[in-house]
A and B are shown apart, each in its own frame.
Chain A
């Protein structure tokens, strides 16, 4: 039952212990959209993404991926993910940049199957896209933190997903590469990739994203970038707890 909707979140609530972290969140991400998800620390952004990725089960509400209820969704290879904690991996793990970048293809290929030529090209292209071509054979532990983060971005890109979910993927990545990375995301989006990006630098992504959603336990705002720009300061400070745009002017 594939329709034009990549992710549909219906009335989702979630709690780790007693208190709700997400409360009646409903959000629809059409195919081809580039959604920027913003909100203060602890507002439930990562939690919402984990629900969408099937890592957490909402206490109530429903989630559909490509029209399929998440419980029966099987095409996980269509979804790429860069975790907020991607960088906290085991530093002494013996693996090359290439091996890590290719590991996301595991779900796409069956048992006993080696990577195909096409897979190798996809891994190469993904590493090139994040500017790491020269380091493919290096041990991942020998890279800098920002370079490592870019390996994880490449891993998500290599499996050529239809939907890419990124939770603050550019933490520790330098300004030049952040800029290049957002350009790359915009580019991929214009070529049809659906994106959900959690970020704190709203200022820099407004030219790339098509939609913005503001979450703080509940969904405060969901609209396109222009509508977001027209929000009055009062609405934003109410949601963020402080006047946001004043802050972003300071940078």
Chain B
């Protein structure tokens, strides 16, 4: 396959987008997991699907819209969804997790309606659900570049604030940190990364790329910085090995990437147990 990368642009696109995803998803994932927001990624990915379905529908109804990248509409939906999640979490302050099924089912409901109106789409939809090695366009790659850079910059700029906010929200507020603003920025970033990762891993599996590498890393890491480093390392391992397997075997990359991540997690669990003996 490594040779084929030089020959085929589509493969190069998939790899570059994959490597960016393998970096950005676990980077945000560390904060998502320690803040116990793991399921929010799931809710947002389904809202993104609704946006993509809307985009595909629009493209089939109005030929003028056919050239738009449905990913951008998915992104818009995802960001709106993230704001709704925040709103709902504030409304149900004592049942914060209620926001997740509400948003998740709305997302699926809308997706199914859009898909039905369009009378089912082509294989396009399949690639959005489970990722694809061949469907990543140059525009998708640029989107991934911009989103991954934004994620890196925001995390670098607000590392101290996000760490304190995640570890001890009350102390963050006492320290004069604008917790609502930082949290808002973070959740919008999560929405963007989810939408941008969609092409590679697919709607149904993107949240696992945000959580599985982190689940493995926190079994091993002593410090938070270590947990971040290991999560990104595991994320990249999963993406690269997963894409390779997907290409060689002609399987959907979403599945292979996630299964590699699961294997890494199993190793991490074993490693910890080995050390405890």
A interface, CB within 8 angstroms of B:
53-55, 74-77, 79, 81, 83, 85-86, 89-90, 92-96, 98-100, 103-107, 109, 111-113, 137-139, 155
- Known pairs A95-B223, A109-B160, A112-B156; list 10 more (Cβ under 8 Å): A76-B175, A94-B218, A94-B224, A96-B222, A99-B163, A103-B167, A104-B175, A106-B172, A107-B175, A112-B157
B199-227 Cβ-contact flags toward A at 8 Å (1 or 0):
00000000000000000011001111111
Say yes or no: A55 contacts B174, CB within 8 Å: yes
Say yes or no: A77 contacts B175, CB within 8 Å: yes
B227 nearest in chain A by CB position: A94
B30 nearest in chain A by CB position: A94
Interface residues on B, range: 20 to 34
Residues of the A chain whose Cβ atoms lie less than 8 Å from the Cβ of B175: 76-77, 104, 106-107
Contacts A94-B221, A99-B163 given; does A107 touch B34 at CB 8 Å: no
Say yes or no: B224 contacts A95, CB within 8 Å: yes
Asked whether B9 is an interface residue with its Cβ less than 8 Å from the other chain, the reply is no
Asked whether B121 is an interface residue with its Cβ less than 8 Å from the other chain, the reply is no
Candidates A55, A94, A103; contact of B226 at CB < 8 Å: A94
Say yes or no: B34 contacts A83, CB within 8 Å: no
A-B contact pairs, 19 of them (CB 8 A): A53-B174, A54-B174, A55-B173, A75-B176, A76-B174, A77-B175, A81-B171, A83-B170, A83-B171, A94-B222, A94-B226, A95-B167, A100-B167, A103-B171, A105-B160, A112-B156, A137-B223, A138-B222, A155-B171
Residues of the A chain whose Cβ atoms lie less than 8 Å from the Cβ of B177: 106-107
Say yes or no: A104 contacts B171, CB within 8 Å: yes
A74 to B175, CA, bound (A): 10
Give chain A nearest CB distance to B271 CB in angstroms.
15
Give chain B nearest CB distance to A131 CB in angstroms.
21
Judged by DSSP, the binding face of B is helix
Residues of the A chain whose Cβ atoms lie less than 8 Å from the Cβ of B226: 94
Residues of the A chain whose Cβ atoms lie less than 8 Å from the Cβ of B170: 55, 83, 85
Residues of the A chain whose Cβ atoms lie less than 8 Å from the Cβ of B222: 94, 96, 137-139
Asked whether B126 is an interface residue with its Cβ less than 8 Å from the other chain, the reply is no
Asked whether B86 is an interface residue with its Cβ less than 8 Å from the other chain, the reply is no
Candidates A81, A89, A103, A112; contact of B163 at CB < 8 Å: A103
B175 nearest in chain A by CB position: A107
A54 to B163, CA, bound (A): 21
Give chain A nearest CB distance to B240 CB in angstroms.
24
A90 to B172, CA, bound (A): 15
Residues of the B chain whose Cβ atoms lie less than 8 Å from the Cβ of A92: 218
Asked whether B158 is an interface residue with its Cβ less than 8 Å from the other chain, the reply is yes
Contacts A53-B174, A76-B176, A103-B163 given; does A111 touch B158 at CB 8 Å: yes
Asked whether B168 is an interface residue with its Cβ less than 8 Å from the other chain, the reply is yes
A93 to B227, CA, bound (A): 10
A79 to B174, CA, bound (A): 8
Residues of the A chain whose Cβ atoms lie less than 8 Å from the Cβ of B172: 106
A140 nearest in chain B by CB position: B167
Asked whether B97 is an interface residue with its Cβ less than 8 Å from the other chain, the reply is no
Residues of the B chain whose Cβ atoms lie less than 8 Å from the Cβ of A94: 34, 217-218, 221-224, 226-227
Give chain A nearest CB distance to B171 CB in angstroms.
7
B23-53 Cβ-contact flags toward A at 8 Å (1 or 0):
0000000000010100000000000000000
